[in-house]
Amino acid sequence: MAESQSRFSKAGQSKTDSSSPPEEAVFRDAEGEQISPEAYGHLRQGVVLFKQQQLENAENEIVQAIDLHPPLSPLYNVFALLKIARRAIDTLKQSVYTALTTNPEFMDEFVQEGIKLLAQERFEEAEEQFKKAIALNPNNTDAQFRLGFTHVSRKNYAKAIEVFEQLIMVDPENINAFFMLGMAYSEMREYYPCISNLQYALRLEPAFVEARLTLADAYHNQGKYLISLRELEGLQELIPNEDTTYLHRGMILLELDRKEEAIPYFEKVIELKPDVMEAYELLVGLHIDMGNFERAIYLAETALQMQPENQELLNALEWSHEKQNKLQADP
């Protein structure tokens, strides 16, 4: 976080003319990659507009800079937190005062009851319990997180975002809050704040599997396939036996029409976790497309031993037998 703020500040302190590129020594990101003049111009203009309190226009400039140079995406997180702080400052003192003068005697009871209701998927009742706990102590981070999670479970993503942003104001290093923010923004297809929050969670915990996969999906949904693959490669290096990494890599390669490259990744999924039906279904379809009917039959029959009612695999097996018999009859 401090690193991102440092880069944000240096960008704002270089030249006053947003259209003028800085010296090449400054014209690089934290990884040493050169930033294009166009990207830097948008970044610089975003800083200027933010200082002028033109927040919407500033955000547009930051987004354009990130589009041109994706490694700048952590800057969106800095920008978002500054907006949160500006919005929250009027109520912060009152929240602290309330927390210090409220009796927390029944706080845990409300939280525990909310957890039970949440497990039963009685979301509305669980929400009320977490709200009661927060009313007793607005800085109860456990109740805040669970309230946000309840909103996500009910697909009230806008409310969830509001709760998790408030939680971050109280607990700025709450890795799970940043992750859930990324998830909520992803569901709303707002990928810039999604990516920035997930990146911050990963700076706190680089081996956070769910955050890395969600980040890769966000890039994937933006059509940035190579960046998505790069994130998955990083996760594979950290956790070589994580089957979902291979599944996601194979699916991206499939979308890129790199079918032969995708096959080993789906095979690896089955090797690591033999009951992943999705990997079998994709492999069977690939082998049918490529005319490898014998392999398709073997995989379909293996999967059907575990899931006999899988209609997609039953259809694929029947089709593969017909094609193989036809080839044998008329080579």
Whether 83 has a pLDDT exceeding 90, the answer reads no
Instruction: Tell me if residue 34 falls in helix, strand or coil.
Output: strand
- Bridge partners (DSSP) listed for residue 28: 34
pTM exceeds cut of 0.75: no
Query: Could you tell me where the DSSP H helices lie in the chain?
Result: 2-13, 37-51, 55-68, 74-100, 107-119, 123-136, 141-153, 157-170, 175-187, 191-204, 209-221, 225-238, 243-255, 259-272, 277-289, 293-306, 311-329
- For residue range 274-315, what is the model confidence (pLDDT) as tens digits? 998 999 999 999 999 888 889 999 999 999 999 999 999 899
CB contact set of 305 (below 8 Å; sequence gap of 6+): none
Mean pLDDT computed over every residue of the chain: 78
Task: Determine the average pLDDT of the residues in 13-28.
Answer: 43
Confidence at residue 331, expressed as pLDDT on a 0 to 100 scale: 58
Task: Return the biggest CA–CA distance within the chain.
Answer: 86
Instruction: Tell me if residue 28 falls in helix, strand or coil.
Output: strand
**Over pLDDT 90: what percentage of the chain?**
25
Structure tokens at 192: 């810039």
pLDDT band for position 254 (cuts 50, 70, 90): confident
- For residue range 119-137, what is the model confidence (pLDDT) as tens digits? 888 999 999 999 988 888 8
Contact 113, 129 (CB under 8 A): yes
User: Mind listing the domains of the chain with CATH numbers?
Assistant: 1-72 (no CATH), 77-205 (1.25.40.10), 220-273 (1.25.40.10), 278-331 (no CATH)
**Over pLDDT 70: what percentage of the chain?**
77
- For residue range 184-239, what is the model confidence (pLDDT) as tens digits? 998 999 988 899 899 888 888 887 888 888 888 888 888 888 888 888 888 888 88
